[in-house]
Amino acid sequence: MPVAQRVIDRGGDPDTSGGLALLDDGSSRTYGELSADVLAAARHLSSSVQRDGLVALCLDDPAATVVALLAVDRLGATALVCDPQWSAAHRETVLRAVRPDTTILTALPRGTSAPGPEASARSAPDPGAPDPSTPGEEPRGAPTAARPDPAARPWAGFSSGSTGRPRAVTRTRRSWTDSFDALSRAIGLRPGDTVLVPGSLASSLTCFAVVHALAEGVTVRVGTRGRHLAAALPDVDLVHCVPSVAQDVLDAIESGVPSRVRTLVVGGASTSPELRSRAARLGVDVVAYYGAVELSFVALDTDGAGLVPFPGVEVEIRPADGASRLGQVWVRSPYVADGYLADAVGPLARDGSWATVGDLAEMPPAPGAPLVLRGRGDGAILTGGSTVVPEDVEVVLRRVPGVRDVVVVGSTHRRLGAVVTAVVEADPRPGLRATLERAARSHLTAQQRPRRWYRTGMLPRTASGKPARAAVSERLQGERPGGDLAPPATQGSARTESTGLEHGFEALR
C-alpha cells in the first residue's frame, strides 16, 4: 500500500530513518522504528489476516493504533478503527453489524531494530512463512512486492456523524492518496514540519490527517487533547483539527502559551469569520475545508474568500424541493467512497458519476461564486409549515458571550409538528436565557427563534469532535444512544444529574 510502503522506504533509508515519524504524549518513534514496528506487527498478523479481509482495530493507545493500521494495510486487508470511548456493549453492537474477519484488542509486538534497505523492495510476508530469526527483517525468500492496486479498499471509517448511528464507509486507496499532493500544497506543508492531529483515529478526518502526514514524511503527533494540547504547541507547526479544537488552540496562544503553530487546517464543520480573524491577529493562517466521510474533500478556503472546489472536484448545486434559495450539493470527484459495509443505509446517493450526502448550500448568484453551506438536508426543521435550517440559528447564538457552542434541533410538537430547540454549551449564569432570546429576536425570524432552551456543561460530540446532533435529539426524546448518555431531562425539572461525560441538560428559564 502506498502509505505503509512509504513509511518502510523511509525506515530503510539511512538519510531518513532517523527522522521523527510518530509522537504521542508518552513516546516517540523514528521512521526506522515505526517501519520496524509495522513489519513486526504484519508478521504477527500474517497467519490470521487475509488479503481483502476486514480487521477491526479496538485499541486505546493512538500510536499502537497507527502501527496496527499500517500493518493491516501492509497485508492487503482493510483496517476499521473503532472509537475507544465506546462502551463494550456499544462496540459489540457495531461490530456485530459490520462483521469483521479479525478484531485486534491489544497492541501488537514491536520491532527491535530498523529494517535494512532491502525491506522496501519486499512484499508483505507470505502467511505460511516462518518468523525470521532477526526482528525487524522480512522473511527470507519473500516474493517481490506487487505494484499496489489503487482500486483496492484498504480504508474503512465510521460515519457516526451528527445525524445518525455509526456506519462504516469503505473507500479505495486512490480516493485518499490522490488528494495528498493537492492538500500538501494548499496547507503549505514543508519538510521537517510537525503536524498535531488531536482526536480519535476512529474519526475519518483524524485518520486521514495522520496517514497524509506519514505519507509526506513529516512528523505527526497523535493522542494530544485536553490539558495536553497547550503543552504540545511549542513543538508543532500545523494543527489539523475540527473548529472546536481550533478555538482551543487559539485560546491557549492568547493566554500566553509558547507556540510555533503557523497554520490551522480546519475541517469537519463550518469555520466562522471570527475564528479566522482571531487567528490572523495571532499570526496563524487558517486553511478550512468542507467534505464528508463519504465524499472526502469537496471544497477548500485558503484565504477567507470562501469555499471553492477542491482540486479535481466538480461541484453542482441542484435546487432542493420546496426551497427557493437553497440547493443540494452534488459532486463529481475521484475522492468519493465506495459505499457502506454490511449493506448499511446512509445519506450517500448517486446519480451516474455524481454523488451527494444531502448537504444544503445557497444557490450560487453567479458561476464560480463561493460555496455557502447551510447544513444537512435531513437536519432541517419543519415547524408550522416553515423550514428552518439549524445552522442559520446556531451561527447567531454562538455569538452570544459565554456560549461555547450550540446545537439546534427540532423537538416534537403536537400542533406545529416540531419546534426549534436550542441546547447551548455554557457555564451557568443568571440571565442566560434572556440574553439568548434578545439575540434571537434581533437576528432571527419568528419561525427561526427557539421555543425551548437547554444548557449543558459539555455537548455530546462525535469521535471527530463535532457536536453530536443525533445524540442531542435522542436525549430530548428520551432515548439513550449506545447506553452512553445520562437519562434525559424531565420537562419542568430545574436540572438533571450530570454524568461523568457531563451530558446533562438543564432547562433554561
Q: Are 164 and 346 in contact (CB under 8 A)?
A: yes
138 Cβ neighbours under 8 A, 6+ residues apart? 39, 115, 118, 119, 122, 125, 132
Q: Which residue has the higher pLDDT, 489 or 70?
A: 70
Structural domain harbouring 319: 308-376
Question: In DSSP terms, which residues pair with 233 in a beta bridge?
Answer: none
CATH of the domain at 336: 2.30.38
Kindly report, residue by residue over 281-305, the tens digit of the pLDDT. Answer: 999 999 999 998 899 999 999 999 9
Between 147 and 87, the more confident residue is 87
Q: Among the three residues 103, 122, 141, which one is the final residue of a domain in this structure?
A: 122
| Cβ atoms of 148 and 1 closer than 8 Å | yes
Q: Look at phi and psi of residue 239 and say left if phi exceeds 0, alpha if psi is from -120 to 50, else beta.
A: beta
Which H helix or E strand runs over 151?
Answer: none
φ, ψ for residue 318 (rounded to 5)? Answer: -100, 135
- One DSSP character per residue, 5-28 reads HHHHHHHH-TTTTTSEEEE-SS-E
**Burial bucket for residue 427 (CB in 10 Å: 0-12, 13-18, 19+):** exposed
d(CA 328, CA 439): 29
Is residue 43 one of the residues assigned to a domain? yes
Q: Select the highest-mean-pLDDT range: 114-118, 355-359, 410-414.
A: 355-359
483 and 396 in a single domain? The answer is yes
Instruction: Write out pLDDT tens, residues 104-146.
Output: 999 999 997 555 444 443 333 443 333 333 333 443 333 334 4
**What does pLDDT average to over the chain?**
83
Q: Tell me: do 335 and 416 sit in the same domain.
A: no
- Please list, in sequence order, all residues whose beta carbon lies within 8 angstroms of the beta carbon of residue 212, skipping any fewer than 6 positions away: 176, 180, 183, 184
**205 is a domain residue:** no
Q: Are residues 406 and 463 in the same domain?
A: yes
**Do residues 325 and 384 share a domain?**
no
Res 445: pLDDT: 85
Asked if residue 71 and residue 37 are part of one domain, the reply reads yes
57 — phi, psi (to 5°)? -105, 110
Which range, of 230-244, 323-337, 378-392, 441-455, averages the lowest pLDDT? 378-392
β-strands 339-340, 354-356: how paired? unpaired
Q: Which residue has the cell 504524549?
A: 25
Same domain, 366 and 398: no
Domain harbouring 473, CATH code: 3.30.300.30
58 occurs within a structural domain = yes
- Give the mean model confidence (pLDDT) for residues 418-443: 94
Q: Are 401 and 411 in contact (CB under 8 A)?
A: no
Q: Is residue 45 part of a domain?
A: yes
Classify residue 401 by its DSSP letter: T
Helix (H) / strand (E) containing 175: helix 173-177
Distance CA 235, CA 72 (A): 30
Are 366 and 442 contained in the same domain? no
The whole-model pTM stands at: 0.77
- Residue among 311, 289, 444 at smallest CA distance from 373: 289
The verdict on 317 and 387 lying in the same domain is: no
Residues of the chain above pLDDT 90, percent: 56
The total of structural domains in the chain comes to 3
- Which triple of cell numbers denotes residue 17? 530513518
Instruction: Tell me the average pLDDT across 382-405.
Output: 86
> Does residue 407 share a domain with residue 351?
no
247 occurs within a structural domain: no
